[in-house]
Amino acid sequence: LRTIHQQILDAKKNGQKLLAILLDPDKIVLENIDHLILKINESPATHIFVGGSIVQNTILEDLISVLKQKTNLPVIIFPGDPSQISPQADAILFLSLLSGRNPDYLIEYQVQAAPVLKKMKIEVISTGYILIESGNETAVARVSKTKPLNRENFDLALATAQAGEMLGNKLMYLEAGSGAKNAVPLKMIQLISQNIEIPIIVGGGIVDLHAIQNAYNAGADLVVIGTAFENDSHFFES
Protein backbone atom coordinates (compact mmCIF):
# COMPACT_ATOMS: atom_id res chain seq x y z
CA LEU A 1 0.00 0.00 0.00
CA ARG A 2 1.42 3.37 -0.99
CA THR A 3 1.62 6.02 1.68
CA ILE A 4 -0.21 9.27 1.13
CA HIS A 5 3.15 10.99 0.88
CA GLN A 6 4.17 8.55 -1.85
CA GLN A 7 0.89 9.14 -3.69
CA ILE A 8 1.54 12.88 -3.66
CA LEU A 9 5.09 12.34 -4.97
CA ASP A 10 3.77 10.04 -7.71
CA ALA A 11 1.12 12.59 -8.70
CA LYS A 12 3.77 15.28 -8.96
CA LYS A 13 5.95 13.04 -11.11
CA ASN A 14 3.03 12.26 -13.41
CA GLY A 15 1.88 15.88 -13.63
CA GLN A 16 -1.43 15.06 -11.93
CA LYS A 17 -2.69 18.02 -9.91
CA LEU A 18 -4.31 17.45 -6.52
CA LEU A 19 -7.13 19.23 -4.75
CA ALA A 20 -8.04 19.24 -1.07
CA ILE A 21 -11.27 20.42 0.48
CA LEU A 22 -10.60 21.86 3.93
CA LEU A 23 -13.28 21.25 6.54
CA ASP A 24 -13.08 23.20 9.77
CA PRO A 25 -14.81 21.06 12.44
CA ASP A 26 -15.83 24.24 14.20
CA LYS A 27 -17.93 25.34 11.24
CA ILE A 28 -19.53 22.02 10.37
CA VAL A 29 -23.02 21.21 11.53
CA LEU A 30 -23.06 17.42 11.69
CA GLU A 31 -26.80 17.29 10.98
CA ASN A 32 -26.14 18.77 7.53
CA ILE A 33 -23.20 16.53 6.81
CA ASP A 34 -24.96 14.26 4.31
CA HIS A 35 -25.45 17.04 1.80
CA LEU A 36 -21.87 18.18 2.26
CA ILE A 37 -20.57 14.67 1.74
CA LEU A 38 -22.62 14.28 -1.41
CA LYS A 39 -21.04 17.46 -2.76
CA ILE A 40 -17.54 16.36 -1.73
CA ASN A 41 -18.05 13.03 -3.50
CA GLU A 42 -19.25 14.83 -6.66
CA SER A 43 -16.33 17.27 -6.55
CA PRO A 44 -12.90 16.86 -8.14
CA ALA A 45 -11.31 16.75 -4.67
CA THR A 46 -8.56 14.16 -4.18
CA HIS A 47 -8.06 14.75 -0.45
CA ILE A 48 -9.95 16.06 2.57
CA PHE A 49 -8.11 18.21 5.08
CA VAL A 50 -9.64 18.56 8.53
CA GLY A 51 -8.57 21.22 10.98
CA GLY A 52 -8.58 24.86 11.92
CA SER A 53 -6.74 27.49 13.88
CA ILE A 54 -9.05 27.12 16.85
CA VAL A 55 -11.24 24.07 17.07
CA GLN A 56 -13.35 24.58 20.15
CA ASN A 57 -15.72 21.71 19.92
CA THR A 58 -15.13 18.02 20.05
CA ILE A 59 -16.68 17.08 16.74
CA LEU A 60 -13.27 16.43 15.16
CA GLU A 61 -13.56 12.71 15.92
CA ASP A 62 -17.18 12.50 14.79
CA LEU A 63 -16.44 14.41 11.62
CA ILE A 64 -13.50 12.21 10.68
CA SER A 65 -15.44 9.04 11.36
CA VAL A 66 -18.35 10.15 9.13
CA LEU A 67 -15.90 11.14 6.39
CA LYS A 68 -14.15 7.78 6.59
CA GLN A 69 -17.48 5.97 6.33
CA LYS A 70 -19.00 8.00 3.53
CA THR A 71 -16.17 9.05 1.23
CA ASN A 72 -13.24 7.21 -0.31
CA LEU A 73 -10.92 10.17 -0.06
CA PRO A 74 -7.92 10.20 2.24
CA VAL A 75 -8.59 12.28 5.35
CA ILE A 76 -5.61 14.33 6.47
CA ILE A 77 -5.46 16.33 9.67
CA PHE A 78 -4.28 19.90 9.18
CA PRO A 79 -3.90 20.80 12.85
CA GLY A 80 -3.94 24.19 14.48
CA ASP A 81 -2.60 22.77 17.72
CA PRO A 82 -1.75 19.42 19.35
CA SER A 83 -5.33 18.82 20.52
CA GLN A 84 -6.31 18.20 16.91
CA ILE A 85 -5.12 14.63 16.59
CA SER A 86 -7.24 11.60 15.81
CA PRO A 87 -6.22 8.00 15.16
CA GLN A 88 -9.04 7.70 12.64
CA ALA A 89 -7.41 10.01 10.11
CA ASP A 90 -5.17 8.59 7.40
CA ALA A 91 -2.39 11.12 7.89
CA ILE A 92 -1.46 14.32 9.63
CA LEU A 93 0.48 17.27 8.27
CA PHE A 94 3.17 17.65 10.91
CA LEU A 95 3.55 21.37 10.50
CA SER A 96 6.31 23.74 11.45
CA LEU A 97 5.45 27.42 10.98
CA LEU A 98 8.69 28.42 9.25
CA SER A 99 7.65 31.97 8.45
CA GLY A 100 7.18 32.78 12.14
CA ARG A 101 9.51 33.10 15.08
CA ASN A 102 7.22 31.66 17.70
CA PRO A 103 8.99 28.62 19.19
CA ASP A 104 5.68 27.01 20.14
CA TYR A 105 4.74 26.62 16.47
CA LEU A 106 8.28 25.80 15.39
CA ILE A 107 8.99 22.96 17.83
CA GLU A 108 7.12 23.03 21.18
CA TYR A 109 3.79 21.70 19.88
CA GLN A 110 5.63 19.10 17.82
CA VAL A 111 7.36 17.86 20.99
CA GLN A 112 3.97 17.60 22.71
CA ALA A 113 2.39 15.77 19.78
CA ALA A 114 5.19 13.31 19.02
CA PRO A 115 4.53 10.74 21.79
CA VAL A 116 0.79 10.83 21.04
CA LEU A 117 1.35 10.26 17.33
CA LYS A 118 3.89 7.54 17.99
CA LYS A 119 1.18 5.42 19.63
CA MET A 120 -1.06 5.69 16.59
CA LYS A 121 -0.89 4.10 13.16
CA ILE A 122 -1.38 7.49 11.54
CA GLU A 123 1.03 8.59 8.77
CA VAL A 124 3.01 11.66 9.84
CA ILE A 125 4.06 13.97 7.01
CA SER A 126 6.66 16.60 7.86
CA THR A 127 5.39 19.84 6.30
CA GLY A 128 6.96 23.28 6.19
CA TYR A 129 4.27 25.92 6.67
CA ILE A 130 4.89 29.41 5.31
CA LEU A 131 2.40 32.15 5.94
CA ILE A 132 2.39 34.96 3.38
CA GLU A 133 0.90 38.38 4.03
CA SER A 134 -2.58 38.53 2.50
CA GLY A 135 -3.82 42.09 2.93
CA ASN A 136 -5.98 41.19 5.94
CA GLU A 137 -5.23 39.64 9.31
CA THR A 138 -6.00 35.93 9.11
CA ALA A 139 -6.65 33.53 11.98
CA VAL A 140 -3.30 31.78 11.54
CA ALA A 141 -1.37 35.00 12.15
CA ARG A 142 -3.59 35.96 15.07
CA VAL A 143 -3.59 32.61 16.83
CA SER A 144 0.09 31.84 16.24
CA LYS A 145 1.11 35.40 17.11
CA THR A 146 3.49 35.48 14.18
CA LYS A 147 4.06 37.89 11.35
CA PRO A 148 3.46 36.58 7.83
CA LEU A 149 6.23 37.03 5.25
CA ASN A 150 6.01 40.15 3.12
CA ARG A 151 4.30 39.15 -0.14
CA GLU A 152 6.86 41.09 -2.15
CA ASN A 153 9.92 39.57 -0.50
CA PHE A 154 10.36 36.64 -2.86
CA ASP A 155 13.96 36.06 -1.77
CA LEU A 156 12.94 35.54 1.85
CA ALA A 157 10.04 33.27 0.91
CA LEU A 158 12.34 31.16 -1.27
CA ALA A 159 15.08 30.99 1.37
CA THR A 160 12.47 29.91 3.93
CA ALA A 161 11.14 27.17 1.67
CA GLN A 162 14.65 25.97 0.88
CA ALA A 163 15.59 25.91 4.56
CA GLY A 164 12.51 23.77 5.24
CA GLU A 165 13.45 21.39 2.46
CA MET A 166 17.00 21.13 3.81
CA LEU A 167 15.60 20.42 7.29
CA GLY A 168 13.79 17.45 5.80
CA ASN A 169 10.26 18.70 5.26
CA LYS A 170 8.45 16.40 2.82
CA LEU A 171 5.91 18.99 1.67
CA MET A 172 5.90 22.79 1.60
CA TYR A 173 2.62 24.59 2.32
CA LEU A 174 2.38 28.17 1.04
CA GLU A 175 -0.48 29.72 3.00
CA ALA A 176 -2.20 33.07 2.66
CA GLY A 177 -4.56 32.16 5.53
CA SER A 178 -8.18 31.15 5.49
CA GLY A 179 -10.34 33.88 4.01
CA ALA A 180 -7.29 35.75 2.72
CA LYS A 181 -8.02 38.86 0.70
CA ASN A 182 -5.07 38.08 -1.56
CA ALA A 183 -3.91 34.55 -2.30
CA VAL A 184 -0.21 33.64 -2.44
CA PRO A 185 1.30 35.54 -5.40
CA LEU A 186 1.58 33.34 -8.48
CA LYS A 187 5.11 34.55 -9.18
CA MET A 188 6.12 33.45 -5.67
CA ILE A 189 4.65 29.98 -6.24
CA GLN A 190 6.52 29.84 -9.53
CA LEU A 191 9.87 30.86 -8.06
CA ILE A 192 9.63 28.43 -5.16
CA SER A 193 8.39 25.52 -7.26
CA GLN A 194 11.30 25.98 -9.65
CA ASN A 195 13.81 25.94 -6.81
CA ILE A 196 12.71 23.15 -4.48
CA GLU A 197 12.04 19.51 -5.28
CA ILE A 198 9.35 18.65 -2.73
CA PRO A 199 5.63 19.00 -3.59
CA ILE A 200 4.00 22.37 -2.95
CA ILE A 201 0.62 22.91 -1.32
CA VAL A 202 -1.05 26.28 -1.87
CA GLY A 203 -4.06 27.63 -0.01
CA GLY A 204 -5.80 30.65 1.39
CA GLY A 205 -8.05 33.06 -0.49
CA ILE A 206 -8.53 30.90 -3.58
CA VAL A 207 -12.14 31.59 -4.48
CA ASP A 208 -12.72 30.56 -8.08
CA LEU A 209 -11.85 27.74 -10.44
CA HIS A 210 -9.70 30.04 -12.52
CA ALA A 211 -7.51 30.84 -9.50
CA ILE A 212 -7.09 27.10 -8.84
CA GLN A 213 -5.87 26.62 -12.40
CA ASN A 214 -3.52 29.59 -12.12
CA ALA A 215 -1.99 28.17 -8.95
CA TYR A 216 -1.46 24.81 -10.73
CA ASN A 217 0.10 26.54 -13.72
CA ALA A 218 2.44 28.43 -11.41
CA GLY A 219 3.66 25.15 -9.91
CA ALA A 220 1.29 24.23 -7.07
CA ASP A 221 0.94 20.46 -6.77
CA LEU A 222 -2.02 20.53 -4.40
CA VAL A 223 -4.49 23.38 -3.93
CA VAL A 224 -6.60 23.75 -0.78
CA ILE A 225 -10.13 25.15 -0.89
CA GLY A 226 -11.79 26.00 2.40
CA THR A 227 -13.96 29.11 2.57
CA ALA A 228 -15.19 29.02 -1.05
CA PHE A 229 -16.64 25.51 -0.66
CA GLU A 230 -17.86 26.27 2.85
CA ASN A 231 -19.84 29.23 1.48
CA ASP A 232 -21.12 27.41 -1.59
CA SER A 233 -21.25 23.64 -1.81
CA HIS A 234 -21.90 24.02 -5.57
CA PHE A 235 -18.55 25.79 -5.95
CA PHE A 236 -16.99 23.10 -8.14
CA GLU A 237 -19.99 22.91 -10.50
CA SER A 238 -19.62 26.37 -12.05
Residue ranges at the known binding site for Mg(2+): 24, 53
Asked if residue 203 binds ligand 1GP (CB under 6 A), the reply is yes
Candidate list 22, 55, 125, 171; residue touching ligand 1GP; CB under 6 A: 22
186: left (phi over 0), alpha (psi -120 to 50) or beta: alpha
Do 146 and 100 meet the contact criterion of CB atoms below 8 Å apart?
yes
For ligand 1GP, the nearest residue by Cβ is: 203
* Residue among 19 and 120 whose Cβ is closer to ligand 1GP: 19
Do 93 and 127 meet the contact criterion of CB atoms below 8 Å apart?
yes
Q: Least CB distance from residue 118 to ligand 1GP, whole Å?
A: 26
Do 237 and 209 meet the contact criterion of CB atoms below 8 Å apart?
no
Do 49 and 89 meet the contact criterion of CB atoms below 8 Å apart?
no
Q: Mark the segment that binds ligand 1GP (CB under 6 A) among 35-43, 147-155, 162-170, 202-210.
A: 202-210
Q: Please give the size of the binding site for ligand 1GP, defined by CB under 6 A.
A: 14
3-state secondary structure of 131: strand
Q: Mark the segment that binds ligand 1GP (CB under 6 A) among 30-38, 65-73, 143-151, 225-233.
A: 225-233
